[in-house]
Each structure stands twice: as structure tokens, then as C-alpha cells.
């Protein structure tokens, strides 16, 4: 069985993330979307909220599961016996950081490959931080995140 891990902060999950998750679900037998917990960062959404949003928007994808983890991604991938870590790659500015993480993960866990999926053209410039910025001004974010979670995101962030 091929197993993919799709990691991220998902603060919050966007249409770009969902696009990568959907595409991974066509390539692998089982896809685990994992919210990585970083204690040195103060996220806008709790782990439970982030996991809940992803569960809601992936409910129709039978081979997708959602989890949360606070250790190293390489260790999580080894624990789950993952074939691959799948990440979306947007503009070139993502590349250096993603490449560095892929090499670190591969030296910690050589059994799991990192695979980059190029972002779809519609989501090339979409980011969670942009969604937070727009929602915090009270604007609708349903062009950027799945419609079923857009209002929850706007309500939570609108000051
Ligand atoms: O959505 P993001 O913020 O681009 O995701 C980054 C993430 C969470 C995948 C990355 O920071 C991560 O894997 N963090 C867990 C700690 C870890 O394994 N770091 C890489 C080796 S030092």
C-alpha cells in the first residue's frame, strides 16, 4: 500500500492545500493530512480547529485521514510507514525553504521521499497568511478557502 503524508501548519487550510490533498489522493492509496504543531509559533487557529476544518473539507475523500503531531515530520512519516511526503510548491520563493526541509527530512528518514506538486495556476499566490489578513478585516474569504469553512474563518479573525 502506498501512503502519503501531507504536512503543514494549515493556519487555516486553503483551496491551494485542498488542491494538493485531492491530487495526492489520486496518486496514493492512503493520504494522511497532518497538522504539525509548532510550540514556538502562535497560530491563529487551535489545533482542534485546524484539524476540524480539514476533516470537514475532505469528508468526501475516502482515502484521506487527518491527524496532528508535535514532533519531527521525518519521525511521523517513519511511524506511519509513509512512502512519500507530499508538498505543494508555489512560486520560486518557496523553493529554497522546501528544498532544505526535504534534504533534512531525507537524512533523518531515508525511507520516505519528498514529492513536490506544482501549485495549480489559480492558487499560485494563495497563502494562509493572506487569508488571515483578508478575514481579519471582515472580508469574505470564500474565493480562497472552501466555502463550507469560509464564514467560520472570517468570524474568528474579524476584530
Ligand atoms: O504549512 P507550512 O508552515 O509550510 O508547513 C511547514 C511544516 C509544518 C511542514 C514544517 O515546518 C515541519 O515539517 N515542521 C515539523 C518540524 C520538522 O520536522 N522540521 C523539519 C526538519 S528540521
Element containing residue 66 per DSSP (H, E): strand 64-69
What pLDDT does residue 77 have? 98
Q: Which of 4, 8, 109 to mutate to test the pocket of ligand 1 (most atoms within 8 A of CB)?
A: 8
Average pLDDT, the chain: 97
pLDDT at 14 (0 to 100): 98
Separation between Cα atoms, residue 134 and residue 157, nearest integer Å: 9
Nearest in space to 120 (alpha carbons), one of 84, 141, 90: 90
Which residue has 496518486 as its cell numbers?
A: 27
pTM attached to this predicted model:
0.97
- Per-residue pLDDT, 132: 98
Nearest to 54 by CA among 113, 1, 13, 103: 13
pLDDT surpasses 90 at 112: yes
CA pair distance 10, 89, nearest whole angstrom: 15
Average pLDDT over residues 73-77: 98
Q: Is 8 in the pocket of ligand 1 (CB under 6 A)?
A: yes
Which residue has 501512503 as its cell numbers? 3
Burial letters for 24-40: b for 16+ Cβ neighbours within 10 Å, e otherwise? Answer: bbeebebbbbbbbeeee
Query: What cell was used for 124?
Result: 499560485
- What percent of the chain clears pLDDT 70, i.e. is strictly above it? 100
Mean pLDDT throughout 82-103? 94
101, 107, 123: which to mutate for ligand 1, most atoms within 8 A of CB?
101
pLDDT of residue 93: 81
Residue 92 has pLDDT above 90, yes or no: no
Ligand 1 atom at minimum distance from 17 CA: 1
Task: Sketch the domain layout of the chain as residue ranges.
Answer: 3-124
Give yes or no for residue 16 CB within 6 A of ligand 1: no
154, three cell numbers = 472570517
Residues 114 and 106: beta-carbon distance below 8 Å: yes
Expressed in angstroms and rounded, the spacing between residue 148 Cα and the centre of ligand 1 is 26
Q: What is the pLDDT of residue 140?
A: 97
Q: How far is the CA of 73 from the centre of ligand 1 (A)?
A: 7
Question: Is 103's pLDDT higher than 90?
Answer: yes
Q: Which CATH architecture has domain 3-124?
A: 3-Layer(aba) Sandwich (3.40)
Residue 42: DSSP 8-state: -
pLDDT score at 159: 78
Chain centre to alpha carbon of residue 52: 13
What whole-number distance in Å separates Cα of residue 129 and Cα of residue 59? 24
Residue 54 scores a pLDDT above 90? yes
Active site residues: 17, 41, 90, 128
d(CA 121, CA 14): 14
Amino acid at each position: 500500500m502506498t501512503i502519503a503524508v501531507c504536512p503543514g501548519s494549515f493556519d487555516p487550510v486553503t483551496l491551494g492545500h485542498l488542491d494538493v490533498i485531492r491530487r495526492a489522493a489520486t496518486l496514493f492509496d492512503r493520504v494522511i493530512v497532518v497538522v504539525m504543531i509548532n510550540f514556538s509559533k502562535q497560530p491563529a487557529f487551535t489545533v482542534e480547529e485546524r484539524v476540524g476544518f480539514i476533516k470537514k473539507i475532505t469528508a468526501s475523500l475516502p482515502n484521506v485521514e487527518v491527524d496532528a503531531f508535535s514532533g519531527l515530520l521525518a519521525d511521523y512519516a517513519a511511524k506511519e510507514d509513509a512512502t512519500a511526503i507530499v508538498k505543494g510548491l508555489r512560486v520560486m520563493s518557496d523553493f529554497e525553504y522546501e528544498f532544505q526541509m526535504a534534504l533534512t527530512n531525507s537524512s533523518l528518514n531515508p525511507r520516505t521521499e519528498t514529492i513536490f506538486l506544482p501549485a495549480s495556476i489559480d492558487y499560485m499566490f494563495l497563502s494562509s497568511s493572506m487569508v488571515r489578513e483578508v478575514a481579519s478585516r471582515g472580508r469574505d474569504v470564500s474565493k480562497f478557502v472552501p466555502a463550507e469553512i469560509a464564514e467560520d474563518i472570517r468570524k474568528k479573525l474579524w476584530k
